[in-house]
Amino acid sequence: MQLSTDIVNDYLVVELKGELDHHTSEDARKKIEQYYYNNNLLNIILDLSQLKFMDSSGIGLVMGRYKNCKERNGNLLIVSTSPYVNKILKMSGLMKIIKVYSTIDEAIKG
Amino acid sequence: MVEKNCMKLEFLSKSSNESFARVVVAAFASQLDPTIEELSDIKTAVSEGVTNAIIHGYEYGEGIVIVETTIENNIIEITIEDHGKGIADINKAMEPFYTSKPDLERSGMGFTVMETFMDDLTVESHVNKGTKIKMTKMFKSLSNRE
């Protein structure tokens, strides 16, 4: 799995590419937390639109980052266009508490 | 109608084998000409079952995970077995969001995903002997064509 980050305004934008499962999620968590805390940021945008696969380990990753942001009174936003990723997000109930956008620009504009 | 066919896969309980297992099962299931969505459901369910065996069955120790798949007509049956520590309370383990390892950032959704993405799920487990989960799914794409 590939992970790239960018800082836009006070958002940490994280783009995830490839397959997000138990094997790859721990490394992703460490990298995201490192960028988030080292840059003293409030908000995170997780861009899942280029994921080819995600299982419940991805749900755990999203829930963990949601907690990180809430502890700092920040927001976690998701960008996702994949019907398969959306299916598992919806099933987990995360879509009720986290806003999902189609593009990073839309997420930043709110 | 697709003739009965089966395969058996054994591999070490390493997390790098999660993608290997789901890709192999998906490749085998392709004989039934499933839709992309059906294939994606199967890959996700296999990933959850194998992850459970590695994290909970063997608790990251070394063991063998056995995946058997049978296809017949338009039905796929997948079993995922470990000889690890077993589950003391299966009903508790299957509750949505319950995880016995909250420190590991697990969502507790593994069994819920398997139940949702497959048509049927049964769990057989004995403490200190291991766990065997059996999942079946009917390929609707195939039944629609016949």
ipTM, interface predicted TM-score of the complex: 0.93
CATH of segment(s) B5-145: 3.30.565.10
- In this predicted structure, the answer to whether residue B140 has a pLDDT above a threshold of 90 is no
Question: Which residue among A57, A83, A92 places its CB closest to the CB of B51?
Answer: A57
Q: Report CB contact under 8 Å: A59, B37.
A: no
Q: How far B18 CA sits from the closest chain A CA (Å)?
A: 7
Question: Which residue among B16, B44, B104 places its CB closest to the CB of A23?
Answer: B16
Q: What is the pLDDT of residues B57-81, one digit of tens each?
A: 999 899 999 999 999 989 999 999 9
Q: Is B128 a catalytic residue?
A: no
What's the pTM value of the predicted model, to 2 decimals? Answer: 0.94
Q: What is the pLDDT of residues B19-68, one digit of tens each?
A: 999 999 999 999 999 999 999 999 999 999 999 999 999 998 999 999 99
Q: Report CB contact under 8 Å: B109, A56.
A: yes
Question: Which residue among A22, A53, A63 places its CB closest to the CB of B15?
Answer: A22
Q: Report CB contact under 8 Å: A55, B16.
A: no
Q: What is the pLDDT of residues A58-71, one digit of tens each?
A: 999 999 999 999 99
Nearest to B18 by CA among B60, B46, B58, B59: B46
Q: Average pLDDT in the B110-132 region?
A: 96
B26 touches chain A (CB under 8 A): no
Q: Report CB contact under 8 Å: B43, A56.
A: no
List beta partners, residue B65.
B11, B82
**Token pair of A72 as six digits:** 């700092």
**Catalytic site residue from B68, B106, B115, B124:** B106
Tell me what pLDDT residue B144 has: 63
Question: What is the residue extent of each domain of chain A?
Answer: 2-109
Instruction: Kindly report the CATH class assigned to A2-109.
Output: alpha beta
